[in-house]
Amino acid sequence: MFDFHNDTAVQGRIDPMSRLSLPLAKLVFDKTVAVLLVIPLVIAAALLVFANPFVNAGPLMFVQRRMGRDCQPFYVFKFRTMRPTGETRGAHDALEAGRITRLGQFLRRTRIDELPQVINVLRGEMSLIGPRPDCYDHARVYLRDVPGYAARYRVLPGISGYAQTELGYVDNIGAVHRKVAADLYYIANASFRFDMRIAWRTLIVVLARRGA
């Protein structure tokens, strides 16, 4: 397998045509799966409406501005897993602040908190598979400080991606460099088969409840 840790080599392999429309197979897969996931989304939302007042008081949804395709901002939807503060911080800032509720921990372990992002897929703002979009304010810093970072936004961001299955969540600038290298490797080697492999590995992670 190609060494995705080699940032320069990966950047050199990126096809400038990758910023064009998604292949038909990927688009059909995204929309079909997103429509099917609307049913568990509605069920989960209904259950949380009743459960939240007792174990996770506050709004049902968490909405955060993130960087999307061509570095344009968009708003991502998630089920709220943290105590509300009135601020929209990045995930790792929230972890450090210890604001994740007990129900929120369950939602994160099972990835149920990610379900509302099928709305973003249906709206054409995200794909099921692609580079994970960062918090917009953080992404602006990475654009300045991390070589190749802008190139990962040549394609739609994804709910899951190659960097997530290979590296997990990142929490420091060194890990961001590795994430970017993995994302650029994904873009340079993009194929429907590659997406299916990432989708399968994501499913395994979800079923095994690894990470949070």
The single-letter DSSP state of residue 22 is P
CA torsion 144→146→151→156, rounded to 10°? Answer: -90
Q: What is the arithmetic mean of pLDDT over 53-75?
A: 93
Contacts of 169 (CB under 8 A, 6+ apart): 91, 92, 211
Provide the phi-psi class of 23: left if phi over 0, else alpha when psi is between -120 and 50, else beta: beta
d(CA 206, CA 202): 6
Of 13-17, 27-31, 125-129, 140-144, the least confident:
13-17
At residue 174, does pLDDT exceed 90? no
**Quick check: 17 pLDDT over 90?**
no
Reported as a pLDDT band with limits 50, 70 and 90, residue 51 is very high
- Beta pairing partners, 67: 73
Tell me the β-bridge partners of 63.
Answer: 77
CB 152 within 8 A of CB 131: yes
Tell me which amino acid residue 148 is: G
Pairwise CA distance, residues 126 & 24, whole Å: 15
Q: Which two tokens stand for residue 148?
A: 């190749």
pTM exceeds 0.85? no
70: left (phi over 0), alpha (psi -120 to 50) or beta: left
Listed residue (114, 95, 99) closest to 170, CA to CA: 95
The amino acid at 120: N
Q: What is the DSSP string of 110-164?
A: HTGGGTTHHHHHHTTS-EEESPPPPBHHHHHHHHHHSTTGGGGGGS--EEE-HHH
Residue 7 banded pLDDT, cuts 50, 70, 90 = very low
